[in-house]
């Protein structure tokens, strides 16, 4: 127990990220099921409008910040150091800090469901209710007087610190801890996409930090950053939010693209087609992701020039994305394909992401977008991209790397059941939303009248959502069953080309008994140009120093939610306690003898 609380081992932190994020994924999923149950019939009355507002806000916020990002982070943690031939990340204690801040931030945000009575309100009354993008000035104290939005903005500030810390850590890890010979153009595609993602994190998160800080000052200290009467414009919030928000979309999708770029070659037994182009397309997406944010704001009326520019950039960013899709298809073409569950999810990712990408391009046209804004069409689009895309990609990664992380193979039979149920479920759930939206059903409204003529489509969507839930249950059964009944994986159950497959599953604490020397992009494969590398010996020839654990990252992390409680409860002394805990954690951490 203590060894898990103080761990600085990237593999353990990766597992902690996985289980925590998956728990939040289940919570966000339950919220989605309640939403779909409410919308199954017209004039639904399962929940009130107020509860519904909290449900969709927490569903979006949870899935983006507490499920998808940290599930990607679990693979950054577990797989990246193995793929580059490193013994750990560059800053193991900072890594632990990122995890604890994420956990505490997630708990802080979700505590809002339960603590209503402390704020003289009922349970299920004070959870955030302003939508995941929390538009000002709706989120100002004047229009949202309760603690709901406070939970949201303070929770996101805490989570931002976690992402930023991890961002610096992984940039340095990938650039600086590569094994000898592992030149940048030999780095596996997943690690490359991790690198691009982290650059997006460290540049995008400061912007939302400032936007949230303004909102915080408005709500707690009476400033007027988003107050129209004082001469300010609430559009500032939209710019700051989407300047962060659009890169965030790529923060969510690029890791999944990286996973798919590693899974496909393994199961097609062919190198990734156009590796260089795939990598450069990812980098280009990273850059262009910064130039499209106002396509979320066409309905604001920014004028013909701004609309035209953002319309053009939005269409352009589809080009590098399309390039990747063609490269993935070309990787499969003529390959010796093995239809594993991981490959099913990877191919499912490509298919679903194409649909999501195409509906995304339809948003690029401002006149069309005006019809789609705030309707279920947008909900359909984001779910094709983030569920059909990111979640499918992440599951491809789970089925691919689970044997590496636990030493046991997940059941392929249950895996196929999981895949098909989820695939059919998601299309039933999200495809009708295109029509529901175009027929005029607005999003974020707790019910709809029968005259709108979308009752049947909504029922289909609800059935689909419960099928997805069933598929996740199958997955959980698979996980549990694998613990005891799973087939042993050995070093390399798939015949992978990259370094993580050259060592035991799960890897020993030091990862590589001898740091490998890399001579090419596919070190473990025999090609016409080279023989496969020799795997490192099972027992290390010389003793390896492994850094011990540390309590201080957790202590420092604990200071942040205490600091956040101060404004939430209007208690000044808590701010001093929080700052003292944070400082104590940082100082003990800095002066602790620790050799990475």
Q: What are the residues binding other proteins (CB under 8 A)?
A: 90-91, 164, 167-169, 171-172, 175-178, 182, 202-207, 209-211, 213-214, 217, 221-225, 229-232, 236, 240, 243, 587
Provide the minimum distance between the beta carbon of 351 and other proteins in the complex, in angstroms, as a whole number.
Answer: 36
> Would you call 530 a catalytic residue per the annotation?
no
Residue 69 gets which letter from DSSP?
H
Provide the minimum distance between the beta carbon of 57 and other proteins in the complex, in angstroms, as a whole number.
Answer: 24
> Would you call 416 a catalytic residue per the annotation?
no
Kindly tell me the number of DSSP H helices and DSSP E strands found in the chain. Answer: 18, 2
- C-beta closer to other proteins: residue 221 or 573: 221
Provide the minimum distance between the beta carbon of 486 and other proteins in the complex, in angstroms, as a whole number.
Answer: 36
> Would you call 162 a catalytic residue per the annotation?
yes
> Would you call 11 a catalytic residue per the annotation?
no
In DSSP terms, which residues pair with 487 in a beta bridge?
409
Please give the Cα distance from 194 to 282 (Å, whole number): 10
Residue keyed to tokens 């199954």:
40
Of 250, 360, 249, nearest in space to 315 by CA: 360
- C-beta closer to other proteins: residue 164 or 350: 164
Provide the minimum distance between the beta carbon of 555 and other proteins in the complex, in angstroms, as a whole number.
Answer: 18
Which of 88, 492, 500, 535 is flagged as catalytic?
88
> Would you call 485 a catalytic residue per the annotation?
no
Contact 198, 80 (CB under 8 A): no
61, 322, 572 from 268: Cα distances, Å: 36, 20, 60
Residue 488 gets which letter from DSSP?
E
Please give the Cα distance from 533 to 428 (Å, whole number): 46
Provide the minimum distance between the beta carbon of 95 and other proteins in the complex, in angstroms, as a whole number.
Answer: 12
Dig out the tokens for 526 from the structure.
């025999």
- C-beta closer to other proteins: residue 207 or 350: 207
> Would you call 163 a catalytic residue per the annotation?
yes
Half-sphere exposure of 572 (CA within 13 A, CB side): 0
> Would you call 338 a catalytic residue per the annotation?
no
Of 128, 525, 548, 533, nearest in space to 336 by CA: 525
Which of 266, 321, 461, 471 is flagged as catalytic?
321
- C-beta closer to other proteins: residue 193 or 207: 207
Of 112, 34, 35, nearest in space to 66 by CA: 112
Please give the Cα distance from 269 to 372 (Å, whole number): 42
> Would you call 404 a catalytic residue per the annotation?
no
Provide the minimum distance between the beta carbon of 236 and other proteins in the complex, in angstroms, as a whole number.
Answer: 7
- C-beta closer to other proteins: residue 79 or 94: 94
Contact 11, 92 (CB under 8 A): no
Provide the minimum distance between the beta carbon of 148 and other proteins in the complex, in angstroms, as a whole number.
Answer: 23
Which of 11, 12, 36, 59 is flagged as catalytic?
59
Half-sphere exposure of 583 (CA within 13 A, CB side): 6
Q: At what angle do helices 148-176 and 49-61 cross, to 10 degrees?
A: 10
- The 3-class SS string of 553-587 reads HHHHHHHHHHHHHHHHHCCHHHHHHHHHHHHHHHH
Provide the minimum distance between the beta carbon of 426 and other proteins in the complex, in angstroms, as a whole number.
Answer: 35
> Would you call 129 a catalytic residue per the annotation?
no
Which of 192, 226, 250, 376 is flagged as catalytic?
250
> Would you call 31 a catalytic residue per the annotation?
no
Provide the minimum distance between the beta carbon of 223 and other proteins in the complex, in angstroms, as a whole number.
Answer: 4
DSSP secondary structure of 229-281: GGT--THHHHHHHHHHHHHHHHHHHHHHHHHHHHHHHHHHTSPPTTHHHHHHH
> Would you call 589 a catalytic residue per the annotation?
no
- C-beta closer to other proteins: residue 6 or 233: 233
DSSP secondary structure of 417-453: HHHHHHHHHHHHHHHHHHHHHHTTPBTT-S---GGGS
- C-beta closer to other proteins: residue 231 or 543: 231
- C-beta closer to other proteins: residue 159 or 342: 159
H-type alpha helices, 289-340: 304-332
**Residues 6 or more apart from 163 whose CB is under 8 A from it?**
69, 98, 201, 205
Residue keyed to tokens 């569950």:
341
> Would you call 248 a catalytic residue per the annotation?
yes
Of 406, 398, 396, nearest in space to 505 by CA: 406
Which of 100, 113, 132, 552 is flagged as catalytic?
132
> Would you call 377 a catalytic residue per the annotation?
no
Which of 62, 162, 173, 311 is flagged as catalytic?
162
Which of 443, 500, 524, 550 is flagged as catalytic?
443
**Residues 6 or more apart from 106 whose CB is under 8 A from it?**
20, 24, 62, 65, 66, 155, 159
Which of 129, 248, 307, 369 is flagged as catalytic?
248
> Would you call 261 a catalytic residue per the annotation?
yes
- C-beta closer to other proteins: residue 211 or 425: 211
Which of 11, 87, 324, 408 is flagged as catalytic?
324
Strands (E), 324-437: 408-409
- C-beta closer to other proteins: residue 123 or 176: 176
Catalytic site residues?
59, 88, 132, 162-163, 246, 248, 250, 261, 295-296, 321, 324, 443
């Amino acid at each position: 127990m203590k060894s898990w609380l103080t761990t600085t081992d990237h593999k353990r932190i990766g597992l902690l990220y996985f289980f925590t994020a998956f728990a939040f994924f289940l919570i966000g999923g339950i919220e989605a099921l309640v939403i779909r149950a409410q919308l199954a019939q017209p004039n639904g009355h399962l929940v009130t409008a107020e509860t519904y507002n909290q449900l969709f806000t927490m569903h979006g916020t949870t899935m983006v910040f507490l499920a998808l990002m940290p599930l990607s982070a679990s693979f950054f943690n577990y797989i990246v150091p193995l793929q580059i031939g490193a013994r750990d990340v560059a800053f193991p204690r900072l890594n632990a800090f990122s995890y604890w801040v994420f956990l505490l931030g997630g708990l802080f945000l979700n505590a809002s469901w339960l603590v209503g009575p402390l704020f003289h309100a009922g349970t299920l009354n004070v959870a955030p209710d302003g939508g995941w993008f929390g538009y000002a000035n709706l989120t100002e104290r004047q229009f949202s007087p309760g603690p709901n939005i406070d939970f949201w903005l303070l929770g996101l500030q805490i989570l931002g610190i976690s992402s930023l810390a991890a961002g610096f850590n992984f940039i340095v890890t990938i650039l600086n801890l590569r094994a000898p010979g592992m030149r940048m153009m030999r780095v596996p595609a997943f690690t490359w996409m991790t690198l691009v993602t982290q650059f997006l994190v460290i540049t995008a998160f400061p912007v939302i930090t400032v936007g949230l800080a303004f909102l915080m000052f408005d709500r707690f200290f009476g400033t007027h950053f988003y107050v129209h009467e004082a001469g300010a414009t609430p559009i500032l919030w939209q710019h700051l939010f989407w300047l962060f928000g659009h890169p965030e979309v790529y923060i969510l999708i690029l890791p999944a693209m990286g996973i798919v770029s590693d899974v496909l070659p393994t199961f097609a037994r062919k190198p990734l087609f156009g590796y260089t182009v795939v990598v450069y397309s990812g980098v280009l997406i990273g850059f262009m992701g910064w130039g499209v944010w106002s396509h979320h704001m066409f309905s604001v009326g920014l004028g013909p020039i701004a609309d035209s520019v953002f319309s053009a950039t939005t269409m352009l960013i589809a080009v590098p994305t399309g390039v990747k899709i063609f490269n993935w298809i070309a990787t499969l073409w003529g390959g010796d394909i093995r239809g594993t569950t991981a490959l099913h999810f990877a191919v499912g990712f490509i298919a679903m992401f194409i649909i999501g990408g195409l509906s995304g391009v339809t948003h690029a046209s401002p006149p069309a977008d005006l019809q789609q804004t705030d309707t279920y069409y947008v909900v359909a689009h984001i779910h094709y991209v983030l569920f059909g895309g990111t979640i499918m990609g992440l599951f491809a990664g789970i089925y691919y790397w689970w044997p590496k992380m636990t030493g046991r193979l997940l059941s392929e039979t249950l895996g196929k059941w999981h895949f098909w149920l989820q695939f059919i479920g998601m299309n039933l759930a999200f495809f009708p939303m295109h029509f529901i939206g175009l027929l005029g059903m607005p999003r974020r409204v707790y019910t709809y009248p029968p005259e709108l003529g979308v009752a049947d489509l909504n029922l289909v969507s609800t059935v689909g959502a419960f099928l997805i839930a069933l598929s996740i249950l199958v997955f959980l059964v698979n996980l549990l069953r694998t613990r005891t009944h799973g087939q042993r994986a050995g070093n390399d159950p798939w015949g992978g080309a990259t370094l993580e497959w050259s060592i035991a599953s799960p890897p020993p604490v030091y990862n590589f008994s001898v740091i490998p020397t890399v001579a090419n992009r596919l070190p473990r494969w025999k090609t016409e140009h080279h023989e496969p590398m020799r795997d490192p010996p099972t027992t290390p020839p010389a003793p390896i120093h492994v850094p011990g654990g540390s309590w201080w990252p957790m202590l420092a992390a604990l200071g942040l939610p205490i600091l956040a409680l101060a404004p939430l409860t209007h208690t000044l002394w808590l701010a001093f306690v929080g700052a003292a805990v944070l400082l104590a954690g940082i100082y003990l951490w800095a002066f602790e003898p620790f050799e990475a």
